[in-house]
Amino acid sequence: MQNQIAGFNIIESTLREGEQFEGGHFSTEDKLEIAAALDAFGVEYLELTTPIASPKSEADLRAIARMPRQFRLLTHIRARMDEARLAVDCGVDGVDIYIGTSAYMRQYSHGRSLQEIIETSREIVVWLKSQGIETRFSTEDTFRSNLADVFTVYRAMDLEGVNRVGVADTVGIADPMRTYNLISSLRQAVDCDIEFHGHNDSGCAIANALCALQAGATHIDTTVLGIGERNGITSLGGLIARLYTINRDLVRKYDLTMLREVEQLVAAKVGIEIPFNTPITGRTAFHHKAGVHTNAVLQNPTSYEAIDPADFGIGRSIDLAHRLVGWNAVRDRAASLGLALSEDTLREATRQIKALADERRITIEDVDAVLHGTLVVTEVGLS
Ligand code: HCA
Ligand code: CU
């Protein structure tokens, strides 16, 4: 078992896989804005839609190639020489080639045999390398492919000098153990870097990306908020959260305070809200409610927080306006209101807040009114 994450790179595919999201219709300005935000966050790579998709796609790729940036620019192409030539002409640093190796893809997509796949891809890889272009070769739908076939193709491409081979869980069926096993075997089979691209159809995309890294993958594909075909792929923020909770130092290379801004930007462009259960940036990600939790968090936040929200420029909230409230949280609230109340008074106030919350939905103003003594809740009701 390798299990140590040495170094890794993020290939941010919001402007490629993310463009395949239901709401992904980016204008040139949108793309430049998103690219600049991701550059400020510090991702190592941006992957854009192939320039062959449409004249606008080509113009946008050229525009992003010209912008001032730290990230390396990639585009995602099929195994076709004309597409590779156009990509290079647009000024990219690297090209991600993909081709389906599963029986489904071979039968219903491109109709090429394994030998044909190797021959065509070899020619393109050799040409791209001769142009000084960073080159990746990936097999779409890897997990439903015959692994002996896939490994034959990967080895052939490794021998031609590709920088990376890519494993794609195109339909989101992989689980962490399978991902770990496949990537571990691949790590033994090739010398080049390994990329993982995982869809989230069964909710394992973040976990699978982690296992890929633990098994020796070097590059992970993400999109902001995980947008992509169907319900998308590994999310940028989810991967960051996953790695942060192993070792904060793994993600210190990024400007974490940019995460929420990047997500808000992309959410607005594709017409969604940031879901409440999004790691780190979800509205309730640092919301503490039950008395047992709030008591501990008020003393030491790490008791119920695996992630320090301050690292992301985010605050936490302590919720008192409900029947699960604890008197420690009430004491803390009283102190912040400048009220010096005895323990007996605080315990009585807590009882009143609970009684009121059993009657109706309450707010923080109700809590404060009880503490100020302007709202008194008796056993029999309000007075
Ligand atoms: C797709 C292709 C892809 C490619 C992944 C890769 C996938 O279905 O549109 O290049 O490694 O999920 O297989 O996104
Ligand atoms: Cu995909």
Q: Which residues contact 44 (CB under 8 A, 6 or more apart)?
A: 9, 10, 11, 71, 72
State pLDDT tens for residues 295-341: 999 999 999 999 999 999 999 999 999 999 999 999 999 999 999 99
pLDDT at 233 over 70: yes
Q: What is the pLDDT of residue 111?
A: 73
379 confidence band (pLDDT: 50, 70, 90): low
Roughly how many angstroms between the first and final C-alpha of the chain, as a whole number? 67
- Counted residue by residue, the chain has a size of 383
- For residue 3, which amino acid is it? N
Q: Which of 136, 140, 142 to mutate to test the pocket of ligand 1 (most atoms within 8 A of CB)?
A: 140
CA distance 331 to 347: 9
Average pLDDT over residues 7-31: 97
Which residues of 101-152 form beta strands (DSSP E)? Answer: 134-140
Instruction: Report the percentage of the chain scoring pLDDT > 70.
Output: 97
- Say which ligand is closest to the CA of 227: 2
Q: Which of 13, 21, 98 to mutate to test the pocket of ligand 1 (most atoms within 8 A of CB)?
A: 98
Q: What is the pLDDT of residue 382?
A: 56
104 confidence band (pLDDT: 50, 70, 90): confident
Query: What is the number of the ligand 1 atom nearest to the C-alpha of 13?
Result: 14
Three-class SS of residue 375?
coil
CB 17 near ligand 1, within 6 Å: yes
Q: What is the pLDDT of residue 6?
A: 79
Q: What is the pLDDT of residue 101?
A: 83
pLDDT at 380 over 70: no
pLDDT at 376 over 80: yes
- 335 touches 288 (CB < 8 A): no
Q: Which residues contact 20 (CB under 8 A, 6 or more apart)?
A: 228, 229
Residue 372 among the catalytic residues: no
Closest residue (by CA) to atom 4 of ligand 1? 140
pLDDT, mean over the chain: 95
State pLDDT tens for residues 22-41: 999 999 999 999 999 999 99
- Which of 12, 57, 19, 58 is CA-nearest to residue 35? 12
How large is the angle between the packed helices 28-41 and 259-270, nearest 10 degrees? 160
Domains of the chain, earliest start first: 9-270 (3.20.20.70), 287-372 (no CATH)
Q: What is the pLDDT of residue 102?
A: 80
CB 166 near ligand 1, within 6 Å: yes
State pLDDT tens for residues 174-211: 999 999 999 999 999 999 999 999 999 999 999 999 99
Q: What is the pLDDT of residue 84?
A: 98
Q: What is the pLDDT of residue 105?
A: 67
CA distance 66 to 81: 23
Q: Which residue reads 């003594």 in tokens?
A: 373
- 79 touches 300 (CB < 8 A): no
Task: Let me know if 288 is exposed, middle or buried by CB neighbors in 10 A (0-12, 13-18, 19+).
Answer: buried
Classify strands 193-198 and 219-222 as parallel, antiparallel or unpaired: parallel
Q: What is the pLDDT of residue 300?
A: 96
CA distance 134 to 74: 9
103 confidence band (pLDDT: 50, 70, 90): confident
- Which of 208, 48, 225 is CA-nearest to residue 143? 208
Instruction: Report the percentage of the chain scoring pLDDT > 90.
Output: 91
CB 96 near ligand 1, within 6 Å: yes
- For residue 152, which amino acid is it? T
